[in-house]
Amino acid sequence: MKDGRKMIYLDHSATTPVHPRVREAMAPYFGDSYGNPSSLHRLGQRAHRAVEDSRKQVAEILGCHAGEIVFTSCGSESDNLAIRGVAFANKSRGRHIITSSVEHHAVLYTGEQLEQHFGFEVTYLAVDRDGRVNPDDVAGAIRPDTILISVMYANNEVGTIQPLREIGTIARAHDIPFHTDAVQAAAYLDLNVDELQVDLLSLSGHKFYAPKGVGILYVRRGTRLLPMLTGGGQEQNRRAGTHNVPYIAGIAKALQIVAEEKEAEGRRLSLLRDQLAGRLFAAIPEARLTGPQDARLPGHLSFTLEGLEAEGILMGLDLAGICASSGSACTSGASEPSHVLRAMDVPLSRCYGALRFTLGYQNTMQDVERVIATLPPLIRRLKEAGGHQ
Amino acid sequence: MKIRGKKGREAGVSRVVPERLPVHEEEVRARPRPRVVVAMSGGVDSSVAAALLAQEGYEVAGIMLRLWAAEASAEEVCDPVTRSSNGRIQHFVHNRCCTPDAVEDARKVCALLDIPFYLLNAEQAFRQHVVEPFVSAYVAGQTPNPCLACNRHIRFGFLLRYARALGAEYLATGHYAQIQKENGRYRLMKGVDVQKDQSYVLYMLGQEDLAHVLFPVGHFRKPAIRKLAHEFGLPVAEKGDSQDLCFVAGEGYRQFLGEQVPEALRPGPIFDQAGHRLGTHNGLPLYTIGQRRGLGLHTGHPLYVLRLDTQENCLIVGPQEALDRREVAVAAVRYVAGRPPQRSLRVTAKLRYGAPPAPATLEPLAGDAARLTFDKAQRAVSPGQAAVFYDDEELLGGGLIGGGA
């Protein structure tokens, strides 16, 4: 910041800084090793090596074969490819898809488009007050023509971790491909695809210290998938387009870093988060946690306030050098309540006052202290100013 | 911040920075630089205001109010023009003052000045305090000026409170007016540029408000502001001036009223002063006192709207001289000093934004009423517009022209 104070970043669910070791891993491929992995010559071979080594690193962490890893441009592309790719490849078997009502829009709007333009039918499962899908509801929604189940691993807005293994077991028993959007989970939770019983899994690099613009889709062997990008035959014909070599090297390195550190880092961030939550809630009695107490992402705190709009709070925090978010998809300053909070039966008057703090590897207790010192008086002043206009 | 060229300040102008220091809250005192929120419109005046304050060393933040998006219901987003929601494509009409282009311009200016920019939703307050009273006043046969309500309730109400809650000592706008401090009292003066002077729409500001408001461009003439905009390298230097009735996009207020209160647009008779029926009007809210055109009368001599009789739903017309008034009743009077003068006062007064001030005597009455007696008769005195009075360059106060004028 201009006044010399450190900017405190508490919006890691939105994006993360690029880790210095990731930048290091990427650097050669912006420099001398600029080859195209598809080229015959040695420059191309070096780039090819980088991509395949990266694929292998990723596969080790996911507990899968290297050939099951597809590099994409982002988490949304991974979700789109998984859902549309499986839907189109299996449409002769059926046109029914099951998902949840709290998914990211990359999943929800893809489902909507399949319904409106391609004759599919999508069941959006309700969630409980903590935002959790009941596996029994998944079982109950399965029909003979169900060709895909997609349930996110952890929710971006409220941090809820879904019972993937139970859902995966059900899906497998019915021989239905099971996709999970694991974008928010990657930095903290186990990604072993056999443990999770998933057939497709989406990752986004910039949520775990790789740059924006690179993602991963795991596709279990034998899963029928129609590519969306056709062309040069890269990624075993599942995703055409010249490999983004530096970013692929970067996402692999980043995944490796978080895999090594996730246990210790998860514990550390949970502790910080609990400190933040405990002391904020003591100072702001009307604050209500959204999402579960326990089965939630480490470092993820989300809550609502009554009768106060989040945007003023976020401005005040920003002016105080603290980056946070409202946790909803609302980027315009206009007022559309979050579909996640509505699905969790959060009262409408609280949906506009949703706040989210998501911690990351650079955050310390000092940062937490700054928020605790800043937020309660800011909320009090905004209330006095007539928070609801 | 990169500033090109010199300041270009005009001679004999007071400082933009008041000598006043932050007074309250420890947080404000602890900060080395006072924080100021600039109400950004995306236009040249507020942009230069922000640039001047940043140059003066304030910690500046730009806020643009999202005031109005026709057709956007409370449940719907009014962001970029269309948005798919449940398969429907919705179209949103933006008001002139926060079109996506204006937002982008304001964003660009703030980025250039390296200051934060925020868009603040004030639609609910704007609808309640500006749009609905605007419509009701027309229905009641008045000619309201929504800028007055907007300044009172939104800019210097909602936004000023908000800015203060965000830790800002001041709210700055791009208005052409000046604030002077003398012996602990604030005086509101006309802008240096008499042609651009906007003090008329600021009469409602009291001492408490003025202590926390800055008008950086009021110390300059408009050409100097454009020149400054160029020198600061602002991308909005050549933009046109903003228009009144900002939330009536396109077709003007008549169509707007037709959409909002179609039931209030009942045709009725047009009478002359003697009670002869001359024609038919299309609904009283469509007419304004002093209006000549669009009456559809063919009498050979020009006739003007004299009165809107909402009880009988009839329009009274007559010759121009019949519009003349020397006495004007003023209601809901506010004095910048915070209290009415002890006795009658010689003033110059304006009954419309664009009118030249005319000599008059101001007589404070009981409550918050007052009477203005002009030396020479004034034409087309429209209830709902402001009557504002000055002592030379100093704005003393103002109020709303009463219904029975």
Res A128: pLDDT: 97
Element (H, E) at B109: helix B100-113
- For residues A238 and A293, membership in a common domain is answered with no
- Considering the domain architecture, whether residues A247 and A309 belong to the same structural domain is answered as no
CA distance B262 to chain A (A): 28
Please tell me whether residues A247 and A287 are part of one structural domain.
no
Q: What confidence score (pLDDT) does residue B69 get?
A: 66
B62 three-state secondary structure: strand
**pLDDT digit string (tens) for chain A, length 389 residues:** 555 568 999 999 999 999 999 999 999 999 999 999 999 999 999 999 999 999 999 999 999 999 999 999 999 999 999 999 999 999 999 999 999 999 999 999 999 999 999 999 999 999 999 999 999 999 999 999 999 999 999 999 999 999 999 999 999 999 999 999 999 999 999 999 999 999 999 999 999 999 999 999 999 999 999 999 999 989 999 999 999 999 999 999 999 999 999 999 999 999 999 999 999 999 999 999 999 999 999 999 999 999 888 989 999 999 999 999 997 544 444 557 899 999 999 998 898 899 999 999 999 999 999 999 999 999 999 998 874 44
Distances (CA, A) of B212 to A387, B156, B170, B206, B386: 20, 10, 4, 10, 24
Q: Which of A246, A242, A238, A185 is nearest to A211 (CA)?
A: A246
Q: What is the CATH number of the domain that holds A156?
A: 3.40.640.10
Residues A199 and A277 both lie in one domain:
no
B-chain residue closest to A117, CA distance = B87
Residues of chain B with pLDDT under 70: 1-31, 69-98, 242-251, 403-405
Domain that holds residue A202: 20-257
Point out the domain boundary residue: A257, A272, A298.
A257
Residue A1 lies inside a defined structural domain of this protein: no
- pTM, two decimal places: 0.85
Q: Considering chain B, tell me which residue range(s) the CATH 2.40.30.10 domain(s) occupy.
A: 324-401
A113 lies in a domain?
yes
- Separation of alpha carbons A168 and A256, rounded Å: 25
Closest of A55, A77, A57, A30 to residue A206, by C-alpha: A77
Burial environment of residue A230 by CB neighbours within 10 A (0 to 12, 13 to 18, 19 or more): exposed
Instruction: Dump the DSSP string for A272-290.
Output: HHHHHHHHHHHH-TT-EE-
Encoding tokens for residue A86?
């499986």
Q: Which two tokens stand for residue A17?
A: 């800084």
Considering only CA atoms, give the Rg of chain B.
Answer: 23
pLDDT of residue A309: 86
Per CATH, the homologous superfamily of domain B324-401 is Translation factors (2.40.30.10)
Say yes or no: B165 contacts chain A, CB-CB below 8 A. Answer: yes
Chain A residue numbers with beta carbons less than 8 Å from the beta carbon of B77 are 330, 332, 334-336
Domain stops at, among A198, A230, A257: A257
Other C-beta atoms within 10 Å of B260: how many?
18
Task: Number of A to B CB contacts under 8 A, please give it.
Answer: 87
Asked if B66's CB is within 8 angstroms of A312's CB, the reply is no
Interface with chain B: mutation pick from A117, A308, A332, A380, highest number of B CBs within 10 Å: A332
Give the distance, in angstroms, between the CA of residue A89 and the centroid of all CA atoms in the same chain: 25
Q: Are residues A252 and A304 part of one domain? A: no
- A299 and A186 share a domain? no
Q: Could B79 and A389 be called an inter-chain contact, meaning their C-beta atoms sit closer than 8 Å?
A: no
| Whether A330 is catalytic | yes
Specify if A389 maps to a domain: no
Which of A2, A113, A315 is best to mutate for the B interface (most B CBs within 10 A)?
A: A315
**Over the range B332-351, which residues count as b (16 or more CB within 10 Å of their CB) and which as e?**
ebbbbbeebbeeebebbbbb
Same domain, A199 and A287: no
Q: Are residues A122 and A214 in the same domain?
A: yes
Question: Other CB atoms closer than 10 Å to residue B16's CB: what's the count?
Answer: 21
Question: Are residues A356 and A247 part of one domain?
Answer: no
DSSP state, residue B41: -
CATH number for the region B34-175+215-231 comes to: 3.40.50.620
Domain count, chain A: 2
Q: Does B100 touch chain A (CB under 8 A)?
A: no
Q: Which of residues 356-385 of A touch B (CB under 8 A)?
A: 377-378, 381-382, 384-385
For tokens 């709303």, the residue is B400
CATH of residue A294's domain is: 3.90.1150.10
- Please tell me which residue of chain B has the smallest CA distance to A382: B165
For residues A135 and A222, membership in a common domain is answered with yes
Q: At A77, which helix (H) or strand (E)?
A: helix A75-89
3-state helix, strand, coil in chain A (%, to 5): 45, 15, 40
- Residue intervals of chain B classified under CATH 2.30.30.280 are 266-322
Same domain membership, residue A180 and residue A77: yes
In a domain, A237, yes or no: yes
The residue among A233, A257, A281 that closes a domain is A257
For B266-322, give the CATH class.
mainly beta
Q: What is the pLDDT of residue A331?
A: 41
What are the residue numbers of the active site of B?
Answer: 150, 246
Interface confidence, given as ipTM, is 0.84
Q: Are residues A356 and A247 in the same domain?
A: no
Interface test with A, best of B77, B128, B132, B150 (most A CBs within 10 A): B77
Decide if A251 contacts A243 (C-beta within 8 A). no
